[in-house]
Amino acid sequence: MKILTIGMTLAMLAGTAQAADCVDGKSAKAGFVLEKPGIRSEFRPAPGGMIAVANKYESDSPQTQYLYAGLIEVFRDSDTGRLSMIPLGDLKKLFPLKAGAKSKTEFVRLSSKKAPKGTETLALAVKGKDSYKLGDCK
């Protein structure tokens, strides 16, 4: 089994993101946009606990992602291919995240270009809460 590493899209954008308005827990439920030079990401709620993310890159084709609870990528589509991560367990049991919680979930990676080579494991260890600065927002 491979260990699956998942980073949050927000963490990738957090350092230099620019936002017109500061996003809080309430306004994030309606969706929001994060931008930095070369990339624009629009986050919108979707059914089933999913967050739909539309990424537009300056140099590449657009990309659509679906993230379970805004954290775990389960689907990605772009001109370069499609990827689905099928969980072999109940993702609902992982949330809400609480400090000290640890969990492991197995996935099968399905791609339009490659057959699956086994399962991958996502291991989560929740250390605590953290805040990120987005532009002028805290």
Full 3-state SS string of 53-119 = EEEEECCCCCEEEEEECCCEEEEEEECCEEEEEEECCCHHHHCCCCCCCEEEEEEEEEECCCCCCCE
Which region among 1-10, 12-21, 51-60, 104-113 has the lowest average model confidence (pLDDT)?
Answer: 1-10
Cβ atoms of 95 and 67 closer than 8 Å: no
Q: Domain span at residue 9?
A: 2-125
- Residue 134: per-residue pLDDT: 74
Domain membership flag for residue 115 = yes
> Residue 12 pLDDT more than 70?
no
- Residue 81: per-residue pLDDT: 87
Number of domains in the chain: 1
Collect all residues with Cβ–Cβ distance below 8 Å to 134 and sequence separation of at least 6: 13, 14, 17, 18, 19, 22, 23, 34
How sure is the predictor about 6, in pLDDT bands with cuts at 50, 70 and 90? very low
Cβ atoms of 96 and 70 closer than 8 Å: no
Collect all residues with Cβ–Cβ distance below 8 Å to 21 and sequence separation of at least 6: 27
CA distance 62 to 40: 10
Averaged pLDDT for residues 6-11: 36
Domain membership flag for residue 51 = yes
Quick one: which H or E segment has residue 27? helix 25-28
Which region among 9-23, 48-62, 122-136 has the lowest average model confidence (pLDDT)?
Answer: 9-23
Domain membership flag for residue 112 = yes
Averaged pLDDT for residues 4-32: 57
- Residue 86: per-residue pLDDT: 96
> Residue 14 pLDDT more than 80?
no
Collect all residues with Cβ–Cβ distance below 8 Å to 64 and sequence separation of at least 6: 52, 53, 54, 55, 75, 76, 77, 78
> Residue 71 pLDDT more than 80?
yes
Averaged pLDDT for residues 19-36: 81
